Chains A and B, each alone.
Chain A
């Protein structure tokens, strides 16, 4: 279990960070998900841990969104000043690479930026399908929606990413 958690924690943290845009909230969601997996599903076969873990994480993210909605309604006059985004910024990326790779690095930084602009479902669907390489059926099970919905979310995510990249950075795919 420890090896599994060590392997998955960075990607899961990234998913949570993209969803919440807050390092502290992302860590909380990650910790809750790990605790639930360890306490309730440790006895399950190890090949089931990954989809189970992502399902727990998705449920936590969904709960976080609902909580945020209520919080924003009740405390609409407050502004969030402590949003931190430790994911490498374009400057961090550009500062370390040779000039010939600059264009590609800029594109990658832009892609990350646009990924944040997707709706929560489109974003998470893209991460699970494309980045994690899960099947449509597995993604549908994790996101507790139909396979048709997964395909729709994924298609819309990719279309939106492409149009944002083409518009903002004069890139054609």
Chain B
């Protein structure tokens, strides 16, 4: 599904060069659930952003499917993103001025889906995430767990092949965290590839495989023994 070769990301400010990722070789197969762990500042989110095509690498190769995308223009990346990738963020990143319904609807708007179709699909997603009763609320009126459910609903709206979750449970208490993990797991079992960054070893074990990052390098890769059914 995705494959990186000697991926490198250097942040340059006026005087300081910070290497966030250094020669990362990383592969995710179709249908996999991969967890990424590591201390703060080790480059987890940078890697996720590169995978998610939110940012371009400084050097190295990145194959998405069988396309080399590391030198894509903003427009090409936007295009690829909107049909293939769904994002779930730690801070939910819902737009405060849009209602639950409108937030979930957003990706479909950019895919120019017709209004009636949009309504149908958003309603289905809300049912799946059990937030139909909140459809006209604004994000501030929801609990953290509910907000993340909205965010997940939005992420799956476009039927992405890949879901990227950046510490999706970071702002949630354990019961809500568990809930979100179950949802991701469910999506994965239905065939969606999931890459998740997390601090929590417990949640990392939901994945088939855990990748440990340290100072921009991949240090270990564990295949998780236990499978949840």
Chain A bound to chain B = no
Residues of B within 8 A of A (CB): none
